[in-house]
Amino acid sequence: MYSHEKGTVMASPTTEIDFIEELKLRRWARENYVPQPKRDGTWHPIIHDEMVRKDRDLRPANAGATAATA
């Protein structure tokens, strides 16, 4: 069960999940993305992992690049 600001994510980090369940968690994380300070610490680690990945996706392509010197 997954929800955002309507309840809690019911997925215990100690419970082993299968590949399909992992994909569902990752999709939920993408669809319910929130900035890092607003993330619930009780969410499953896979949700946090996927939101970190989306953080990276949202960064401008050149944000981490440094200018080359000639």
What is the model's pLDDT at position 19? 96
Do the beta carbons of residue 12 and residue 37 sit within 8 Å?
no
Q: How many helices (H) and strands (E) does the chain have?
A: 2, 0
Residue 3: pLDDT over 70: no
What's the rounded Cα separation, in Å, for the pair 39 and 53? 14
Higher-confidence position of 49 and 70: 49
The pLDDT tens digits of the residues spanning 18-62 come to 999 999 999 999 999 999 999 999 999 999 999 999 999 999 877
Torsion, Cα of 39, 47, 27, 36 (10° steps): 30
Residue ranges covered by each domain of the chain: 19-58
pLDDT given for residue 8 in this prediction: 47
> How far is Cα 29 from Cα 57, in angstroms, rounded to an integer?
13
